[in-house]
Amino acid sequence: MTVAITKEAEAASVPGYVRNLRRICVATNWSALAQRFRSELAPAEVVIQPSLADLMIQTDCDLYIVDTKVPDMRLWPAPLLSATTANRPWLFLVANAGDLGQLSRFPANCRVFERRAEALDRLFSYLRTRSDPASSKRLAGVDYLSRMRTFLVRFDNSNAYMLPLSDLPQADKSPVTRTRIGRGRHHFTVVQESGNSFEVPWDDVLYHCEPSYPYHKGRSSIEQNQDRARRIGARVRAAREREGLTVSELAMRAGMKRPNVSRLEHGHHEPSLDTLERIAEALDTPVAQLVASK
């Protein structure tokens, strides 16, 4: 029996700002499928592996595709044990409900397609669209969910976002009566009951909803936190070296574990005030000297 993949599942987005697909890794022993992948997805490098075990050693891939009929599918979800591969997009080809049952754990970024020759056109159409950078800027559809006061915005690359009306400063408190995608599909127009009308461009959607977008509203604060963590770490390291201490000796003085001191010095996380006070006391250095902006 062929499983019926719901429209909702097919519309599920693969999170992350779209980039060109440079290297695609596929696990399948279906030779006709392997040949079609190579011909349809050029110029991307397509690596075909006959089993899941062989796929697991391929860590430098922009996208993973798994034919759930590979003979060692029982190994799933072993490939997700790698932090590198777990965070990449995954596509699955399934023929029936039993195939879905084998996927006891789904990657965060995944999508499911039917494993039938006549249904594969949809998969290749999706991949061609996804590898086109312009598709991340073209709107495919906009729906307003009135009870949630939120827009469901879909892009040509299949990414979909929930954009609350409250995030848009142009909006007033009256109900939304109509939305319309503009010419070129790079913005949509919102009309409210009060007569208020405004446009929402594609980059506004990503600014509010896509954390990996270079201009996402939360990125500046994240980068500031990272810069502060690196600055503090460099000052702790410099003070430790002036005192002639090793990382282990500083950790012992501060009552901390050595790996935690090492991570702090490398700027991998911003320390709490309690941690800073312990480090500063161990180095006989004022806390202010470690955290000052200049």
Predicted local confidence at residue 222, as pLDDT:
63
DSSP string, 187-230: EEEEEETTS-EEEEEHHHHHHHH-TTSTT-TTHHHHHHHHHHHH
- The percent of residues above 90 in pLDDT, for the chain, comes to 41
Whole-angstrom Cα distance, residue 97 to residue 152? 29
How sure is the predictor about 190, in pLDDT bands with cuts at 50, 70 and 90? Answer: very high
Name the more confident of 21 and 208.
208
Average pLDDT score over the chain:
84
Residue (of 138, 139, 137) closest to 152 by Cα position: 139
Residues 6+ apart with CB under 8 A from 31: none
Percent of the chain, pLDDT > 70? Answer: 90
Mean pLDDT score, 252-275: 85
The residue assigned the tokens 């056109």 is 121
As a whole number, mean pLDDT of residues 73-94 equals 84
pLDDT at site 12: 37
What pLDDT sits at residue 11?
35
The Cα 98–Cα 29 span in angstroms is 19
Residue scoring higher pLDDT (220 or 58) = 58
Going by pLDDT thresholds of 50, 70 and 90, the confidence category of residue 20 is low
- Statement: residue 16 has pLDDT above 70: no
242 pLDDT higher than 80: yes
Q: Mean pLDDT across the stretch 266-291?
A: 86
The pLDDT of 127-145, averaged and rounded, is 83
pTM beyond 0.75, yes or no: no
Q: Which of 261, 256, 156 is nearest to 205 (CA)?
A: 156
